[in-house]
Amino acid sequence: MKIFPDDRIFEVVAGVADRENVEAYVIGGFVRDHIMGRVNPERDIDIVVLGDGPAMARAVAREISRDIKVTVFRTFGTATFRYRNSDIEFVGARKESYSSDSRKPSVSPGTLEDDQKRRDFTINALAISLNRDNPGEVLDPFGGIDDIRNGIIRTPLDPDATFSDDPLRMMRAVRFAAQLDFRIADETLTSIRSNAERIKIVSAERITTELNKIMTTAKPSAGFLLLEQTGLLELILPEIARLRGVEDKDGKGHKDNFHHTLKVLDNLAEKSSDLWLRWAALLHDVAKPVTKKFVQGTGWTFHGHEFIGAKMVPEIFKRLKLPLNDRMKYVQKLVGLHLRPVSLVQDEVTDSAVRRLLFEAGEDIDDLMLLCEADITSGNRMKVLKHRENFALVRRKLKEIDEKDAIRTFQPPVDGEEIIATFNIPPGPMVGVIKSAIKEAILDGIIPNDHEAAREFMIRKGREMGLEPV
């Protein structure tokens, strides 16, 4: 089988390799995607040479442009540069050996076959020759092309050794299965279960990189089901693993919150590619195990799980080395508010309740509504239709109230400085009381959201407190 990739970078590498009398091959994920006809937005390209990788990188970069900067990693004998939105990495063919307490290998020069043996999966061990004597020849010593055709994730060598050496490969197996809609081979899957504890030596940053890639797949539940089946989920996200299971008491059971959560995540994935909105979906019921209670005559309750869940978000983000900034606060907000639109549709949809929801959700109201609609997972078609009709009503009310009162971007029409100047009082609790009263009056619809009405209300409220405008 011969395939020569249609890209200038490969023509340049081939020319330099022949001039320098060096064997060069494109290897790994690019070859896999090229064979599959798959467009990979990351599109990183790995070039392996039988010789000095950094020297080859510098020679190729010079051939393209004197302005290209080559970054060399001497410890690993690799070099990389950026070209046409791709990271091009060059490495000399090598062998690797690992110690039991680290996923950082000891590296020594090797053959192309040695380099292919160290790859994680057969589908990533494929190489294409870039040399004049056999251009485009595909070297496939482990049956990677057949595995692509059959949709199988399999290690080139003994899976126990593969995963023990570099436990992150277990996460990558799950990620590739989810991304490509492939099946993990039985022997490989069994090995992941046996070696799951080894994931503990992998840094949180590396694990989270793979988690985020699973989260952004078309159907994230596929990856999370594999994580749960292999025992990896309990080790990296125990809060989600604990959602699984149904308890029955006095003939009353509750739904399996693990599978419900994955359904919500998939529902949302059909509507939005936003990573952080998907994290909110994954964590929206995270506190149900700790708030679960059986009430005689009522059944199972999870009172306050939205508030407790919101409090759990920062700790989970911190442990996984996820950003502790506005993205974390966004997820925390949506988890804390995810029942609010539901409570609106269960009661009469009052203007006051809609204003308060708009005020608390702010610019994230549309995302909150997407999350709440994704949270409808009932198998009862009529019930689902009723919920959707109710949410459509809430959406209309939200639009009406926001257009009328501009609550989504609410800023107090009267600020603290104006209160201080009006009554000639020092900063203190009285200012806060008046500001709060103005906000509540607007949200309750007592006064419109404009300066004149707010100022009149401020003066009335001040007089009730014994203050007179100066």
Q: Is 8-147's fold the same as 151-236's?
A: no
Q: Which fold has domain 151-236?
A: Hydrophobic Seed Protein (1.10.110)
Angle between helices 305-319 and 275-283 (to 10 degrees): 120
- Please identify, in words, the CATH class of the domain defined by 8-147: alpha beta
Q: How many residues does the chain have?
A: 470
Q: Give bridge partners of residue 148 from the DSSP assignment.
A: none
Q: How many CA atoms lie within 13 A of 442 on its CB side?
A: 30
Tokens of 6: 């249609």
Paired with 183 in beta bridges are 152
DSSP 155: -
Give the whole-angstrom CA distance, residue 155 versus residue 147.
10
Q: What is the pLDDT of residue 381?
A: 77
Predicted pLDDT at 251: 64
Q: What is the distance between the alpha carbons of residues 48 and 56, in angstroms, rounded to a whole number? A: 10
- The predicted model scores a pTM of 0.86
What pLDDT is recorded for position 6? 63
Please state, in angstroms and rounded to a whole number, the distance separating the CA atoms of residues 107 and 210: 24
| 18 contacts 3 by C-beta, under 8 angstroms | no
Q: List residues bridging with 88 in a β-sheet.
A: 45, 81
The pLDDT value given to residue 417: 93
Q: Of 222, 159, 207, nearest to 185 (Cα)?
A: 159
DSSP-derived secondary structure letter, 90? E
Residue 395 has a pLDDT of 83
Instruction: Give the DSSP H or E segment for 138.
Output: strand 138-139
Pairwise CA distance, residues 305 & 274, whole Å: 24
**CA 190 – CA 436 distance, rounded (Å):** 60
**Angstrom distances, CA of residue 389 to CA of 75, 146, 355, 421:** 61, 49, 20, 49
Q: Which pLDDT does position 301 carry in this prediction?
A: 87
Provide the residue ranges of all domains of the chain, joining segments of one domain with +: 8-147, 151-236, 416-464
Which residues sit opposite 253 in a β-bridge? 248
User: Rounded to an integer, what distance in angstroms lies between the CA atom of residue 315 and that of residue 321?
Assistant: 10
Alpha carbon distance 285, 308 (integer Å): 10
Q: How many helices (H) and strands (E) does the chain have?
A: 24, 15
- Do residues 53 and 78 make contact, with C-beta atoms less than 8 angstroms apart? yes
Residue 180 confidence (pLDDT)? 96
Mean pLDDT by 10 residues, the chain (470 residues): 71 92 94 88 85 94 92 88 90 71 63 90 96 89 96 96 94 97 97 96 97 97 98 98 85 83 97 98 96 85 94 98 97 95 71 85 92 85 77 81 76 91 94 92 89 94 93
Find, among 313, 300, 311, 212, the residue nearest to 256 by Cα: 300
Strand 252-253 and strand 248-249: the pairing is antiparallel
- C-alpha 149 chain-centroid distance: 28
DSSP secondary-structure letter at 70? P
Chain centroid, CA 403 distance in Å: 33
